[in-house]
């Protein structure tokens, strides 16, 4: 893994987090407990800070960045960021699923208990209201989460990634 200071700021990663061998975490990045950062993920806190809550999984190939002098990236608790997603200069509240290949642009806010569908593009300044599912390019609200089968999925995926990371920690 590449964990490196930038401009005198180093990542803060609790011992109970799992970071894959080829993940990259640089600069002003702070993690909560029980997080996992998977293969080829990049978390780059070089131009602003990145704050990540508890039980967050950042899956393979995902990129977390921020915007110079404008937008940090703040991620709440129980958040799953899918394979190859891009989360950039935005705020993600608790209990959110960002689908595979989704893009969340600058100054977006994704409120709690929401899902951003795989491949969706949340354009700059979009506010996703709590309990919504957004999909498409550009992403639009497609339904309320309580009308779907996905309500328990967010918690299930978050818990599963804590379990998966345990498998890898035992091999070290």
Mean pLDDT of 53-72: 97
For residue 111, the tally of other CB atoms under 10 A from its CB is 18
> Among 71, 3, 68, which residue's Cα sits nearest to residue 31?
3
What is the percent of the chain with per-residue pLDDT over 90, rounded to a whole number? 90
Judge whether 79 and 102 are in contact, CB under 8 Å. Answer: no
CATH no., domain 2-169:
2.160.10.10
Domain ranges of the chain: 2-169
Judge whether 123 and 110 are in contact, CB under 8 Å. Answer: no
Query: Measuring CA to CA, how many Å separate 118 from each of 26, 63, 139?
Result: 26, 15, 10
Q: Which tokens belong to 169?
A: 């920690």
Query: Measuring CA to CA, how many Å separate 100 from each of 23, 86, 87, 88, 97?
Result: 17, 9, 11, 15, 9
The string of pLDDT tens digits covering residues 16-54 is 999 999 999 999 999 999 999 999 999 999 999 999 999
The string of pLDDT tens digits covering residues 125-170 is 999 999 999 999 999 999 998 766 676 888 899 999 999 999 998 7
**What is the pTM for the complete model shown?**
0.95
Q: Whole-angstrom Cα distance, residue 151 to residue 91? A: 21
Q: What's the confidence (pLDDT) of residue 170?
A: 72
């Amino acid at each position: 893994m590449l964990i490196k200071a930038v401009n005198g700021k180093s990542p803060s990663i609790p011992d109970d987090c799992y970071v894959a061998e080829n993940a990259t975490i640089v600069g002003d990045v702070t993690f909560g407990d029980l997080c996992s950062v998977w293969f080829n993920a990049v978390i780059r806190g070089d131009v602003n800070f990145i704050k990540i809550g508890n039980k967050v999984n950042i899956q393979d190939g995902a990129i977390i960045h921020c915007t110079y002098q404008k937008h940090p990236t703040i991620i709440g608790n129980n958040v799953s960021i899918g394979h190859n997603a891009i989360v950039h200069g935005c705020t993600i509240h608790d209990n959110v699923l960002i689908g595979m290949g989704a893009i969340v642009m600058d100054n977006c806010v994704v409120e709690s208990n929401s899902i951003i569908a795989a491949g969706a593009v949340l354009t700059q300044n979009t506010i996703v209201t709590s309990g919504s599912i957004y999909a498409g390019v550009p992403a639009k609200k497609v339904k309320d989460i309580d009308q779907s089968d996905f309500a328990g999925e967010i918690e299930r995926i978050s818990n599963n990634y804590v379990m998966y990371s345990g498998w890898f920690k035992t091999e070290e």
